[in-house]
Amino acid sequence: MHAGVTLGLFGAIIIAMITVFWGQMIIQKRKLEKVKREYFRQHGGLLLFDRMKSEKGLAFTIFSEAELIHATNNFDSTRILGKGGHGTVYKGILKNNITVAIKRCALVDERQKKEFGQELLILSQINHKNIVKLLGCCLELEVPILVYDFVLNGTLFEYIHGKNRSSHISFNNLLRISHEAAEGLSFLHSYASPPIIHGDVKTSNILLDDNHMAKVSDFGASVLAPSDEEQFLTILQGTCGYLDPEYLQTCQLTAKSDVYSFGVILLEILTGQLPLKLEGPDTQKILSSTFLSAMKENNLDAVLVKHVKEQESMELLKGLADLAKKCLDMCGDSRPSMKEVANELGRLRKLPMYPWVRVGVETDGESLLGGDSTGVQEVESDYSMGENENQHINPGSSYYAR
C-alpha cells in the first residue's frame, strides 16, 4: 500500500512538473509574441500592412523570422556574402526556391525606428534597372532583416582593385558601369518621392549582374531627403575616403554628399588607386587630395593608371577628370547634381564613337556636350537610359531601406 501511495505521489509530482513546464512555455511564448508585436509596431509594420491592403498590387512580402532562419540555414556562416558597417548579408533560398540576399541590419537608432516602415514602403516601390530591388522584410526582431534580389557577379570594387581585377574589364565597360550607377543614383535623388539620399556611395556598393549591368545596393546609410532643418542632422556614417568634407563639418547629409562620393568612384576608375591608403606618405594617403593637387598643377598624367592612358584618348580622360573635379568641390552647392553627372557621363561615352567631337567644342547650334545635336540624338537610346523605358516608380509611392 505504501508503495502504491508513493508511486501515486511520484506520478502526481511528475504531472505537476509537466504542467508547470508547459505553463511556463506558454507564458514565455506569449511574452515572445508580445515582444515581436512590439518590435513590429516600432518598425512601422502596421503602416506597411495598411498600405499593402490599400495597394493590392504592391509586390512586397513581410517574412517571419522562422522563414528567414530556414532560408539561411540558421544564418550559417557559409552563407555570408558580405559584411559591412550596416549589417551582414547572407545568401538565402526561399521555400519557392528563389535565391535572395538577406541582410541582418546593424543597430538602428530611435529616429530610424520612427521612419523605418515609411522608408521601407518607399524603397519597395522603386523599380529601376540600376537599383537592387527590395523584395520584403522581417520586422518582428529588435533589428530588422531585409530581403533583396540576389545579384552576385562581383562588385565594381573587385573589378578595379580586388579578386576580379585579373579579368581585365575594359575601360569602356568601367565607364558604362559608372554611367549606369549614376543613373540609379540620379533616380533616387530626382524621381523617387520623397527623394532618397544613399549615404554610402562606393565601388563595393555597386553590384554587377550576369550581364555586368550596375546595380546600386546597400541602403544601410540611406535617409529620406529632410523636410525641415531639424531632420537634416544625422549621426556621421559612411566610408572613409568617400566622405564629403562638408558633411564631416556639418553632419548634414545631402544629395550633394552622394555626388562627392561618386566623384571618388570616378577617381578609382581613372587611377586604379584605393580611396584611402593606410601606408605611404601622408600627402598620398587620400586619393581625392592627391588627384586635386595633380589637377591644380596641371599634371593629370601623373595620376592616371598606365593601361587607361594607353587605351583611351586624353580628350575623354580630361573630360572625366574635369567631371570628377566638379564632384569633389569642397562646397556642396557648387557640385553638379547627380542627374547632371549622369548626363555628362552619357555624353562622354559617345566621344569614342564620334572622334570629331571634342569636349567644350561647339558645333552648329549647340555643343554636343551641352545639348543634343541631331546626329548624336539618334544613338542616345543605346547609351543612356530613357526615363520612360527604364525608370519607373509606382504612382503615389514613397520610400527607402536601411
What residues are designated binding site for ATP?
Answer: 103
| Residue in the block written with cell 540600376 | 130
Annotated binding site: 103
- Length of the chain (residues): 402
- Evaluate whether 44 touches 53 at the Cβ level (below 8 Å): no
Instruction: Report the distance separating Cα 182 and Cα 191, nearest Å.
Output: 13
Catalytic residue of the set 200, 244, 258, 329: 200
Which among 98, 79, 100 has a CA at the least distance from the CA of 90? 79
What are the Cα distances from residue 218, in Å, to 264, 372, 383? 18, 34, 25
Q: Which residues pair with 147 in a beta bridge?
A: 102, 136
- Nine-digit cell at 24? 511556463
Q: Answer left, alpha or beta for residue 101, where phi above 0 means left and psi between -120 and 50 means alpha.
A: beta
Instruction: Report the distance separating Cα 318 and Cα 373, nearest Å.
Output: 22
Instruction: Report the distance separating Cα 120 and Cα 43, nearest Å.
Output: 10
- Nine-digit cell at 82? 558580405
| Residue in the block written with cell 546600386 | 216
* Residues ≥6 apart with Cβ < 8 Å to 60: 48, 52, 121, 124, 125, 134, 135, 136
Judge whether 200 counts as a catalytic residue: yes
- The catalytic site residues sit at 200
